[in-house]
């Protein structure tokens, strides 16, 4: 019996690719360049399962009339790159990889918070540029997070992991907003009624909500204005949550003290003004980028493929 045909739209960790080769008739992306929309559309005609990533725009046109594909297996927890309603209409099943990237992403959020608060990335740039002339009492003075208030928008797995790190390691007070009641935040934390209340109460704000839909530009000019003067904003969730033009204005005006961003509104394009600001730390979407995490993500995709082709319940089905 012929093996099911599977395609991966990007290069994956070697151990996962080896497992895929052993089980499926798999086409791997050896050059690791994103597929064009035409290539992606063709994949739905030629393969039983298409293994996508957040870099793929899986829109209604791509899924309009899939000739062969029955499964979209997303390598990632987020799936706002996939038109879910169009997938339903095309009778396509969608899976993702939740749970396995919680700690890695929370670590990056904490890294951004500390980098901006303590200005470590500025110091590193100073050293590399040969501009450091020795210790001075007023050099690169940042702000201490100890005892300050952390506001979290989205108290899911990653939000809870971030709260745990900041409460236990930095002695921070935690407040949060979530669209649903959260019975156990994992640490002492207060759920506030609105996003605005969290922004107004917080010295540091960390975003951990999904992108797309009603969350596009959730953090806009009006909400940035609600933040404390000098507050720091961190985003390791999805880039479209923040209106980057409004963020630039809030930073230029001095209203915000800084920002740490691992994701961007028009990724991989970066708003040019952000790259020129000394109080903005920018990372190239490293949230889940550990060997252990990326392998676990791939193995979760593999578990979904195995279950689908065996006719079993899928471990992490979205629709």
Is residue 128 part of the annotated active site? The answer reads no
The per-residue pLDDT for range 131-158, each reduced to its tens digit, is 999 999 999 999 999 999 999 999 999 9
d(CA 53, CA 243): 23
Q: Check 165, 238, 244, 265 and give the catalytic one.
A: 238
The per-residue pLDDT for range 5-43, each reduced to its tens digit, is 999 999 999 999 999 999 999 999 999 999 999 999 999
Please report the pLDDT score of residue 159 as a whole number: 98
Q: Check 196, 267, 295, 317 and give the catalytic one.
A: 267
d(CA 6, CA 46): 9
CA proximity to 145, closest of 113, 120, 119: 113
The per-residue pLDDT for range 72-93, each reduced to its tens digit, is 999 999 999 999 999 999 999 9
d(CA 81, CA 58): 6
> Which 3 state secondary structure label does DSSP give 210?
coil
The per-residue pLDDT for range 293-317, each reduced to its tens digit, is 999 999 999 999 999 999 999 999 9
d(CA 78, CA 211): 8
Backbone angles phi, psi at 93, to 5 degrees: -85, 140
Q: Check 118, 285, 295, 317 and give the catalytic one.
A: 285
pLDDT at 257 over 90: yes
Average pLDDT, the chain: 97
Contact (CB, 8 A) for 168 and 161: no
pLDDT at 1 over 90: no
Please report the pLDDT score of residue 15 as a whole number: 98
Contact (CB, 8 A) for 189 and 137: no
User: What 8-state DSSP symbol labels residue 204?
Assistant: E
Task: For the chain, state the CA radius of gyration.
Answer: 21
> Which 3 state secondary structure label does DSSP give 19?
helix
CATH 3.40.50.720 is right for the domain spanning 5-100+291-310: yes
Beta-bridge partners for 5: 25
Beta-bridge partners for 177: 153
Q: Where in the chain is the domain with CATH 3.40.50.720?
A: 5-100+291-310, 102-282
Contact (CB, 8 A) for 207 and 154: yes
| Number of neighbours of residue 133 by Cβ within 10 angstroms | 8
Is residue 267 part of the annotated active site? The answer reads yes
Angle between helices 291-310 and 14-23 (to 10 degrees): 20
Fold classification of 102-282 is Rossmann fold (3.40.50)
Is residue 265 part of the annotated active site? The answer reads no
| Number of neighbours of residue 252 by Cβ within 10 angstroms | 11
Contact (CB, 8 A) for 9 and 50: yes
Contact (CB, 8 A) for 234 and 116: yes
């Amino acid at each position: 019996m012929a093996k099911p045909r599977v395609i991966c739209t990007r290069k994956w960790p070697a151990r996962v690719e080896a497992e895929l080769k052993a089980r499926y008739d798999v086409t791997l992306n050896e050059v690791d360049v994103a597929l064009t929309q035409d290539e992606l559309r063709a994949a739905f005609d030629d393969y039983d399962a298409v293994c996508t990533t957040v870099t793929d725009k899986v829109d209604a046109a791509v899924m309009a009339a899939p000739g062969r594909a029955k499964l979209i297996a997303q390598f990632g927890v987020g799936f706002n790159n996939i038109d879910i309603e169009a997938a339903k209409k095309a009778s396509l099943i969608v899976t993702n990889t939740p749970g396995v990237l919680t700690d890695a992403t929370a670590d990056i959020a904490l890294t951004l918070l500390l980098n901006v608060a303590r200005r470590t990335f500025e110091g590193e740039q100073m050293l590399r540029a040969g501009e450091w002339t020795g210790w001075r009492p007023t050099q690169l003075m940042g702000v201490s997070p100890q005892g300050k208030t952390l506001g979290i928008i989205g108290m899911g797995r990653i939000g809870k992991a971030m709260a745990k790190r900041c409460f236990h390691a930095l002695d921070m007070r935690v407040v949060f907003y979530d669209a649903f009641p959260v019975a156990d935040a994992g640490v002492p934390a207060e759920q506030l009624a609105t996003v605005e209340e969290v922004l107004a109460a917080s010295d540091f704000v960390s975003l951990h909500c999904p992108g797309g839909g009603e969350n596009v530009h959730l953090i806009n000019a009006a909400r940035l204005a609600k933040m404390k003067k000098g507050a720091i904003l961190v985003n390791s969730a999805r880039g479209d949550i923040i209106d980057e033009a409004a963020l630039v204005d809030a930073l230029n005006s001095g209203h915000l003290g800084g920002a740490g961003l691992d994701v961007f509104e028009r990724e991989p394009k970066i708003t040019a003004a952000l790259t020129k600001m000394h109080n903005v730390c920018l990372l190239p979407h490293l949230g889940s980028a550990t060997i252990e995490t990326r392998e676990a993500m791939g193995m979760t995709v593999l578990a979904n493929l195995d279950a689908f082709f065996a006719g079993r319940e899928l471990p992490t089905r979205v629709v």
